[in-house]
Amino acid sequence: MKKDYGKRRIALITLEGVLHDRSYTELRKHIYENWYIEYIIALPPFAFKPYANSNAVILYLTAIGEREQEHVWYFKVKNDGFTENKREPKEGKCDFDIFFRCKDKSEEEKLKAGFHKLDTEKIKNNNYASVPASHVKEFRFEGSKHEMVSLGKLIEKVRIPNKENFPIWSLTKNRGFIPHEKKYKEPIYSKDTSKYNIVPPKHFAYRAPGVNEGYIGYNHRETSICIPHYYPVFKVKNEQRIIPEYLFCVCQSAKFREQANAFFRGTARPGISFADFCKIKVPILPLEEQQKVISELNQIKQNIQNSQKTIDDLNCSLSLSLCFEKEIETKKLGNIATFEYGNYDGKAEDRGKYRLVRITDIDEFGEISDQDKKYVDLAKESNVNKFLSKGDIVVSRQAFPARAGIFEEEKAVLSSNLVKVKFNEEVLLPKYFLWFSQTQEWEKQVKELTKGTAQPVFSANALKDIMVPSPSLDKQKEIIQKRKKDLAIINYQKQSIKLLKEKEKRFLESIWEKN
């Protein structure tokens, strides 16, 4: 078999779990015995968005011939040259540039560039597992000004079945534990919740597939809550060594998530076991300093909440004002506006004759962003439906969120997932509608009119059925001017939140700093 391979080469793209999952041990053994693995290239988890979020790797194999493999070069790609969400090209060099520049250089230069050298003998003795974490069991933090201790020495797993029928809560990325009904319209948990886990006060839980993104919760309440059984629950062993609130602060840092990510295992839904979770190291400060960390971060979070409340209050002020205007007539949008689908679904470029307005260009305040512009060149310009003019309103056909935006430039092409709306301006002003599209009443109607489940669609026909409060034109102008002032305050508060989050991030990272 080896002789038949000749000079053949294979670039195999597969799930990252193939490198270490026990169920693929025989496959890995077959590869090592029949091929020479030149490189293993690990791709970022978002490499195949929007089609898949699974971690993937590239195995570059060549004919083994008479060679004996002593080591394997492993390279982790973090920046693949495309944005994480929109998957559009980024400016500048990416990690693939580093790979191709260094792959044939000396061992020393490869190691400096971020390559890992995996020993083949250790790989064979470890069920042919072929990832760096299989060989480097612990992170090292040489020079840290604090003692670094693995979680296994600080926490212990807790299992308390839900025999007292506690209410069900959910674990979220940004809000921690919240009541189940605040996340879901209808219950999605089992009828029998007796095997669910209780989370007493001062206890933690995490979601195995998402702890590296921040899915970890701490019950700071005085009462117990209940969560599904697949969330591991744990508590601090000795509060005289580490304060639970301080540990929760550390768990939100980038260094913590980076360690968690290194221990992820699995294929379709990679996650981290509790045994590997316990290998993560955290900095231990004197109790007095731990308390200062808690106080400082709580103050930052409170300031963020205050700014967010100001934004939320201003965003709902139109809904509240219209509720008390009893004389305002409500009109169906289809009776006072016309609708045209965008019909361009071709390729977009960084340069071109016309700008292409896409669904992702519309921000939450109805502005069409100047960031990351894309352009198109059209062979024929006879189809005016493709074009936007200054002052046009566009609405996304994606239901969540179904955003509206106003176009302030001279001319652009409209993508096929947007609808252009033209109003009878003797009845409804475009900028007033834009304001209305940011209210809770708009969101409520969109949800009721949306069709589809996997990819909910908000069509032009559904848009026609939206009921819009239609005060006098003078009142609409008054609302537009008020909103303009509100947006100035909102933008200031958004900037404050951004600066506070940066401050929070820097403060968290300072706990891990070297002397």
Asked whether residue 78 falls in the same domain as residue 8, the answer is yes
Asked whether residue 247 falls in the same domain as residue 154, the answer is yes
Asked whether residue 346 falls in the same domain as residue 427, the answer is yes
Dihedrals phi, psi of 170, to nearest 5 degrees: -120, 155
Dihedrals phi, psi of 64, to nearest 5 degrees: -75, -35
pLDDT at 328: 79
Domain closes at, from 284, 314, 345 = 284
Asked whether residue 201 falls in the same domain as residue 163, the answer is yes
Instruction: Report the C-alpha gap between 113 and 262 in whole angstroms.
Output: 18
Instruction: Report the C-alpha gap between 437 and 404 in whole angstroms.
Output: 6
Instruction: Report the C-alpha gap between 405 and 437 in whole angstroms.
Output: 9
pLDDT at 327: 67
Asked whether residue 121 falls in the same domain as residue 241, the answer is no
Instruction: Report the C-alpha gap between 173 and 214 in whole angstroms.
Output: 5
Asked whether residue 178 falls in the same domain as residue 240, the answer is yes
What confidence tens digit (pLDDT) does each residue in 367-385 have?
888 888 888 887 554 454 5
pLDDT in tens, the chain (515 residues): 444 555 678 899 988 878 887 778 899 999 998 889 999 999 987 788 777 767 789 999 998 777 889 999 999 998 898 887 767 788 778 999 999 999 999 999 999 999 999 999 989 988 888 888 544 445 566 666 788 999 999 999 999 998 888 888 988 887 789 888 887 767 777 788 888 999 999 999 999 888 878 889 999 999 999 999 889 999 999 999 999 999 999 999 988 988 888 777 665 567 788 988 999 999 999 999 999 999 999 999 999 999 999 988 887 765 555 554 556 788 999 999 999 888 787 778 888 888 888 888 888 778 888 888 888 887 554 454 568 888 889 998 875 567 888 888 777 888 888 889 999 999 999 999 998 888 888 888 888 888 765 566 777 788 899 999 988 899 889 888 988 898 899 989 999 999 999 999 999 988 887 54
Is residue 363, in this structure, part of any structural domain at all? yes
The answer to whether the beta carbons of residues 20 and 130 sit under 8 Å apart is yes
What confidence tens digit (pLDDT) does each residue in 86-137 have?
677 887 789 999 999 999 999 999 999 999 999 999 899 888 888 885 444 4
- Return mean pLDDT, the chain: 84
What confidence tens digit (pLDDT) does each residue in 252-295 have?
998 898 888 877 766 556 778 898 899 999 999 999 999 999 99
pLDDT at 110: 92
Determine if residue 362 is left, alpha or beta; phi over 0 gives left, psi from -120 to 50 gives alpha, anything else beta.
beta
Asked whether residue 116 falls in the same domain as residue 175, the answer is no
Instruction: Report the C-alpha gap between 284 and 467 in whole angstroms.
Output: 58
User: Residue 443 maps to which CATH number?
Assistant: 3.90.220.20
Is residue 53, in this structure, part of any structural domain at all? yes
The parent domain of residue 427 ranges over 329-470
Structural element, H or E, at residue 419: strand 418-423
Asked whether residue 185 falls in the same domain as residue 208, the answer is yes
The answer to whether the beta carbons of residues 366 and 403 sit under 8 Å apart is yes
User: What's the pTM value of the predicted model, to 2 decimals?
Assistant: 0.67
